[in-house]
Amino acid sequence: MKEFIYNQDKLDDMSIDIDLITKEVHEPNDYYGQANILRKYCKYPFSMKAVYEHSLPFHDIIWHVDMNSKCLIAFVSSIHRFKVYKSNKIKKIVFNIGSILNYVINDSVFDEVSKKITRSGSVYFPPHSTHHIKSNVNNLLIIDKLNNLPEKFHPISVCMYWKDVQNGNHKIYLDNGFQVISAGHIYDKMFYYRLYDILRRFNYSLGSSFGSFVFHSARSGSKVYFPEILRIKEAYEVSTKNFEDPELESRLKFVSKFEDQAISLFSDENINYSDDQIKFIEYYSSSKLYSKGKLFCILLFADFLYVFRNLAKKIIK
């Protein structure tokens, strides 16, 4: 069993529903603790008056909550999303500041001693549920396929999304001898710190369907691989009770079309990334890392625009 900086012994406790505690004027900024990470990085003492997309969107849709935010500056994580914002003529000043994981990796908590970790084995990311989507994966079938992978991929740990721990999906993996780990709840400010601590310890990141773990794994130095025997067309059960997301159906359709092409690109088990894979990763998850001073100044400017937003709206076109 691998050991981690952040305790993985209390999986159920890490996955319980918690309230989003944030001082952000645009509250989704602190999903996965993203705003907290940026403020800590550049020592910014106030709430961010900029929108920062959560996760790593690889579709062409802008979430209506981000679009309608009163913040006049938008942070995105990739060249792709920068182009999406520009093509939609959103009245915000857009900065591609790179993947949030870039800022976590440069945190002093991961000092030079702790960075020198010997990688081994693989971590598997099952198709995951969310607040409103339930994954219907056949976990017993997946377990059988994981056990039949070549020796070089073993031992295999399973990284379970918090909602699937709530749904009890982790128990069958534990019962079959797998180590189950998690980055925690979407409202947990330590989410990305746990995720990086997980990813930096494995040679391979395995998947059955495409997700943001692909980009985070690559940024962390873990090789992404979709073994043929693990690939599945995942069925999701969508709950719309007390929930409005006008873009959900469009996002799911986009992912379905995008997935086959993306997965085929990562069907090579070679431990090194190919040039095409590197270009793909960079396009959808930028390696940019703004300096502390530059990020601080942009956030200060965003504060100014927010205070004088009625005037600023007339200037920004």
Q: CA-CA distance, 155 to 244, in Å (whole number)?
A: 41
| DSSP assigned state of 273 | P
Q: What is the mean pLDDT of each run of 10 residues along the chain (317 residues)?
A: 76 88 94 96 96 87 91 96 91 95 90 73 87 74 95 96 88 95 93 94 93 94 93 57 54 67 90 96 96 98 87 61
DSSP letter for each residue of 195-242: HHHHHTT-SEEEESS--THHHHHHHHTPEEE--GGG-----EEE--TT
| Nearest Cα residue to 4 out of 226, 179, 265, 228 | 179
Note the pLDDT of residue 245. 58
* Helix (H), strand (E) counts: the chain: 15, 10
Contact 224/218 with Cβ under 8 angstroms? yes
Note the pLDDT of residue 255. 65
Note the pLDDT of residue 242. 42
| DSSP assigned state of 27 | G
Contact 211/190 with Cβ under 8 angstroms? no
Rounded to 10°, the helix 191-199/213-220 angle is: 60
Q: CA-CA distance, 265 to 259, in Å (whole number)?
A: 10
Note the pLDDT of residue 250. 59
Note the pLDDT of residue 165. 87
Note the pLDDT of residue 131. 60
Note the pLDDT of residue 308. 84
